[in-house]
Amino acid sequence: MNKAVIGLQWGDEGKGKIVDYLSENFDLVTRYQGGNNAGHTVIVENITYKLNLIPSGVIRGKVCFLGQGIVLDPDHFIQEYKKITEKITDPRIYLSSNIPLILNYHKQLDRINESILTGESKIGTTSKGIGPAYQDKVGRKSIKLYDLTNPHSLKEKLSSIKKFYDPILKTFDEDLIDIDKNLELLNNFFIQVKNLIVDNNVIKKDYFNKKILFEGAQGALLDLDHGSYPFVTSSNTISSNISIGSGLQVNYETIGIFKAYATRVGNGPFPSELFDKIGDYIADKGVEFGTVTKRKRRCGWLDLVSLKYSCEINNVKELCITKVDVLNELDEIKICKSYEGKQFQDINFSDSAYLSNCKLNGSDFEIFPSWGNIDGMMNYDQLPQNLKNYVNFIEEYLNLPIKIVSLGPERNQTILR
């Protein structure tokens, strides 16, 4: 069966690590949304791989496909591709010819968008031009990879884009769009990647009866339609976007990934956020600093209310918990099980105003005792009973099995049940 690895929180759940772990048994690993706002760190035998666009299956030499639902920054892709070729010989990476590109004006517009918002209303984007690039896709202005084969229509497209955006760029003292510079950049880029570009039907035909692993980026609570709007990313991160974003109309089962606690980068509601030294402790021990922007991630207790919602909107069939080792030494560990007494059916997870004002109290949490050191444990039976109790509580609440427990960043620090 094909599988989808989906983050159930606000991103950085360890999707990259789990995709690498699972990809052994798959033929094709596919991204279907997001761009280089994603940052996935994978450690295999002491070698660290940092990936943004290229699916983690590349580490095992799997064929990787970037579907049309992503947005691709040409400069960034070339850099990432070069870096991976230093570690992996002849990576097999294909790009859908329908992929929309992120160009410099998208990054300028991302900056402008953020600059006109004040204080808490700022989104805190990764500044990679993601939102404006998706705006152009919906607004039918994208330059797509297939356009690079036709310099004449490319120039025409850039001319109308210039007419549309230059007045805004001028107002904000940004450089205006330079058509020749963009044409040159795109031409150089095309020369370097033209052998990687394929039409969707090629991948469809070649992988019709093969096993496909889908790699989600960001997390369900950052989904454009289902997350805490407007503090979301600009793509649909949930599993139902897979067919649209990959162009592959196949069945799959979803494994939902979550950390043993919660983190969020950027602004937006976070009901179980910790503002005390325990939050700082988790950030330090969990090395919770953004891969893309190096920002410190906000930390909080595991939130089962939003997790249950994420499981439902992703049609999750099984679960993976990561980073349980980070909580080892805490005297007590909490899990959020309601919001002001309310369960997930009674909450609108898009309504940021409600979520931001939500004040959790003692009865909204279940408390667990420490489970101590778990270093070197290689199977589930070895784990301390206190950790098993924690895992059982989550399984019962979510009514789903936890099939993978991750105890460290290395590929082999992973227990399959």
Partner whose footprint covers residue 17, from ligand GDP, ligand IMO, Mg ion, none (CB < 5 to 8 Å by kind) = ligand GDP
Partner whose footprint covers residue 279, from ligand GDP, ligand IMO, Mg ion, none (CB < 5 to 8 Å by kind) = none
Q: Which two tokens stand for residue 388?
A: 């098993």
- Strands (DSSP E) contained in 147-240 are 197-198, 212-215
Stretch that binds ligand IMO, among 38-46, 86-94, 201-209, 387-395 (CB under 6 A): 38-46
If one asks whether residue 215 binds Mg ion (CB under 5 A), the answer comes out as: no
Stretch that binds Mg ion, among 1-9, 11-19, 28-36, 333-341 (CB under 5 A): 11-19
Closer residue to ligand GDP in complex, CB, 93/103: 93
The closest alpha carbon to 132, from 96, 97, 105, 169, belongs to 105
The closest alpha carbon to 345, from 391, 311, 393, belongs to 311
SS (H, E, C) 348-416: CCCCHHHHHHCCCCHHHEEEEECCCCCCCCCCHHHCCHHHHHHHHHHHHHHCCCEEEEECCCECCCEEE
Binding to Mg ion in span 16-75, by CB under 5 A: 39
- Is the Cβ–Cβ distance between 338 and 313 less than 8 Å? no
Which secondary structure element, helix H or strand E, spans residue 42, and what is its range?
Answer: strand 40-44
If one asks whether residue 67 binds ligand IMO (CB under 6 A), the answer comes out as: no
Coil, strand or helix at 328? coil
Catalytic: 40?
yes
Closer residue to ligand GDP in complex, CB, 225/410: 410
Binding to ligand IMO in span 214-253, by CB under 6 A: 217-219, 222, 233-234
Closer residue to ligand IMO in complex, CB, 23/125: 125
Instruction: Determine the residue with CB nearest Mg ion.
Output: 12
Q: How many beta carbons lie within 10 A of that of residue 274, not counting itself?
A: 19
Q: From residue 258 to residue 297, what is the string marking binding to ligand IMO with x (rule CB under 6 A)? A: -------xx-------------------------------
The residue ranges that bind ligand GDP (CB under 6 A) are: 7, 11-17, 39-41, 43, 287, 291, 322-323, 325-326, 406-409
Residue owning tokens 């690590």: 17
Set 20, 40, 110, 226: catalytic member? 40
Sheet harboring 253-259: ordered strands across?
197-198, 93-96, 63-66, 28-31, 212-215, 3-7, 253-259, 316-322, 402-406, 414-416
Stretch that binds ligand IMO, among 74-82, 119-127, 201-209, 389-397 (CB under 6 A): 119-127
Q: Which one-letter amino acid corresponds to residue 168?
A: I
Closer residue to Mg ion in complex, CB, 12/288: 12
Coil, strand or helix at 217? coil
Partner whose footprint covers residue 126, from ligand IMO, Mg ion, ligand GDP, none (CB < 5 to 8 Å by kind) = ligand IMO
If one asks whether residue 266 binds Mg ion (CB under 5 A), the answer comes out as: no
Q: How many beta carbons lie within 10 A of that of residue 119, not counting itself?
A: 6
If one asks whether residue 128 binds ligand IMO (CB under 6 A), the answer comes out as: yes
Binding to ligand IMO in span 137-176, by CB under 6 A: none
The separation between CA 140 and the C-alpha centre of its own chain, rounded to angstroms, equals: 25
If one asks whether residue 12 binds Mg ion (CB under 5 A), the answer comes out as: yes
If one asks whether residue 14 binds ligand IMO (CB under 6 A), the answer comes out as: no
Catalytic: 76?
no
Residues of the shown chain interacting with Mg ion in the complex, contacts defined by CB under 5 A: 12, 39
Task: List active site positions.
Answer: 12, 40
